[in-house]
Amino acid sequence: MPIHDLSYRHWSGEWTSHPYRWWVITRQGISLLIQKKRFLALVILSAIPFLVRTVILYLSVVAGNLPFLRVDAKFFENFLTQQLFFAFVIAIYAGAGLISNDLKANALQIYLSKPITRQDYVIGKLGVIAFFLSLPTLVPGVLLFLLAVGFHSNLSFLQQNYWLAGSILAYSLVIILTYSLVMLALSSLSKSSRFAGIGFAALFFFSQIVYGILSHILRSTQVAWVSLTHNLTQLGDFFFAAAPQYRSPTWVSGLVIFGLMAGSAWLVYRRIQAVEVVK
């Protein structure tokens, strides 16, 4: 036709397949956070222990396996345990507002009016916080392992310690998933990101304090399962085949962490709804 119709035309191209819809939310969340300079500074700060450990790795190879420069399973486990505090701070910064800001802006209805499911939304949000939590844990943990392998002139380290890669992965994933799910659950409870952040801080620190008091009263470390960080540390000992630091059974710690994750996931799923049912 000589004169073309330039009014609205329906999209006739390919549609993104459904399994990847969550990626849009994750990508958007990551790009928004990356633009914040203070947050980037925090992430960079969390890399300092990694740099220190890299120097220790180097020195252990150059100067020999001295007691204070020993690179073994405990070396990697301690690194990840030390990163728990950085992961805590990053979880609050990146995660407190993930769902609460959407609740505040009534954006949930907009999200769920698009052809995505609740699962897509939750997985998308989970992806954001999991990505940033992997930066102080999984990524430097794996890098340290690769550096340890690379610094040796033969494959002896790899042959003796190949299983550490799995341990690093498992411990990191437990930390990432626990923190991500709990933070998302708290974020879904309120329109205030402040509430979510402080709630997570309360869980993190108060559980440690309760353990401190109970262990003092009961003169035993069997109650380590009440503390979030002690449970994670207990599982870390398990993954790295180390002697448990606390008398609390490892399976109890596993159960508590699993329960936390499951409870958080259930809470998030319950809270994410497009409509509010008023009874």
Binding site for another protein (CB under 8 A): 38, 85, 89, 92-93, 189-190, 192, 194-195, 197-199, 201-202, 205-206, 209-210, 212-214, 216-220
Q: Of 73 and 201, which has the nearer Cβ to another protein?
A: 201
Least distance to another protein from the beta carbon of 179, Å?
15
Compute the residue count for the chain: 279
| Sign of the Cα pseudo-torsion (44, 49, 51, 54, in order) | negative
SS3 at position 39: helix
Select from 263, 211, 216 the least CA-distant residue to 232.
211
Q: Of 105 and 241, which has the nearer Cβ to another protein?
A: 105
Least distance to another protein from the beta carbon of 160, Å?
34
- Cβ-contact 46, 132 below 8 angstroms: no
Structure tokens at 94: 């990146």
Q: Of 124 and 199, which has the nearer Cβ to another protein?
A: 199
Q: Of 60 and 229, which has the nearer Cβ to another protein?
A: 229
Distance CA 174, CA 130 (A): 11
Residue 78's alpha-carbon distances to 8, 49, 81, 234, 263, in angstroms, are 60, 11, 5, 12, 28
Q: Of 164 and 226, which has the nearer Cβ to another protein?
A: 226
Structure tokens at 226: 């009440």
Distance CA 265, CA 13 (A): 36
Distance CA 264, CA 4 (A): 55
- Cβ-contact 223, 209 below 8 angstroms: no
- Cβ-contact 68, 74 below 8 angstroms: no
Q: Of 71 and 129, which has the nearer Cβ to another protein?
A: 129
| Sign of the Cα pseudo-torsion (30, 33, 39, 40, in order) | positive
- Cβ-contact 33, 128 below 8 angstroms: yes
Q: Which residues have a Cβ under 8 Å from the Cβ of 216 and sit 6 or more positions away?
A: none
Q: Of 42 and 80, which has the nearer Cβ to another protein?
A: 42
Least distance to another protein from the beta carbon of 94, Å?
11
Q: Of 208 and 250, which has the nearer Cβ to another protein?
A: 208
Least distance to another protein from the beta carbon of 217, Å?
5
Least distance to another protein from the beta carbon of 34, Å?
17
Least distance to another protein from the beta carbon of 43, Å?
14
Least distance to another protein from the beta carbon of 189, Å?
8
